[in-house]
């Protein structure tokens, strides 16, 4: 009799365990199909996380530029013509200000301007946004990898410290909301780094 009860008990335990494991998946599908969407706390649009790899040319010294050179840093990316009209300069200004607002953490952020038409920016623009990496990305494999509804010139993109493209900001963004997103990303990545260091010790 005891031998018959044991398999039944084990079977019930297994079924219960499977139900508990499947519950979050079932709930998420149910919420999705019922149209329930939790409010996102981020301002920028999260993208499918994927490595942004490729080569181009540094406009300053004509050396080869590789995305892996920026590993370890958060990167704000703007795509635009070297002529750099008002909207282009506004993006570069926002990128600079968002970085400066991070205070002591600002050195963890790089700014990258992918020039998509091969035209060299005017010296006054280069000086105005000193510290921004200028890369001639015309005909490179970097540009097609940047998703956009209309044009990649409409967005400021974010690349994480391991080289993954993971977020983009809308056209004519709110710099205060951008700064909050970046601050949150810096805090989370700092925490992950600290936890990883503790585990090694």
What pLDDT was estimated at residue 157? Answer: 98
What's 158's domain CATH number?
Answer: 3.40.30.10
One domain for residues 95 and 18: no
One domain for residues 98 and 188: yes
One domain for residues 30 and 91: no
One domain for residues 16 and 79: no
Pairing mode of beta strands 109-115, 74-80: parallel
One domain for residues 118 and 166: yes
pTM of the full predicted structure? Answer: 0.77
Q: Which residue has the higher pLDDT, 201 or 105?
A: 105
What pLDDT was estimated at residue 3? Answer: 53
* C-beta of residue 58 within 8 angstroms of C-beta of residue 135: yes
Residue range of the domain that includes 11:
1-38
Specify the number of domains making up the chain.
Answer: 2
Mean pLDDT lowest among 19-23, 30-34, 149-153: 30-34
Mean pLDDT lowest among 32-36, 117-121, 123-127, 150-154: 32-36
One domain for residues 66 and 141: yes
Query: How would residue 193 be classed by pLDDT, with cut points 50, 70 and 90?
Result: very low
One domain for residues 116 and 190: yes
């Amino acid at each position: 009799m005891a031998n018959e009860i044991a398999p039944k008990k084990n079977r019930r335990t297994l079924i219960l365990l499977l139900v508990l494991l499947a519950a979050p998946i079932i709930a998420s599908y149910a919420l999705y199909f019922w149209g329930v969407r939790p409010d996102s706390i981020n301002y920028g649009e999260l993208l499918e996380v994927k490595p942004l790899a490729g080569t181009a040319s540094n406009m300053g010294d004509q050396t080869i530029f590789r995305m892996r050179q920026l590993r370890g840093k958060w990167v704000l990316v703007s795509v635009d013509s070297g002529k750099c009209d008002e909207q282009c300069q506004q993006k570069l200004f926002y990128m600079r200000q968002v970085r400066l607002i991070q205070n002591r953490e600002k050195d963890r952020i790089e700014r990258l301007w992918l020039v998509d038409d091969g035209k060299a920016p005017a010296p006054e623009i280069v000086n105005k946004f000193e510290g921004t990496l200028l890369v001639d990305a015309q005909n490179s494999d970097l540009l097609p990898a940047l998703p956009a509804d209309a044009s990649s010139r409409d967005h400021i993109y974010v690349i994480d410290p391991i080289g993954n493209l993971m977020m983009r900001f809308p056209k004519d963004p709110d710099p205060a909301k951008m700064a909050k997103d970046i601050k949150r990303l810096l805090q989370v990545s700092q925490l992950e780094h600290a936890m990883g260091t503790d585990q090694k010790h």
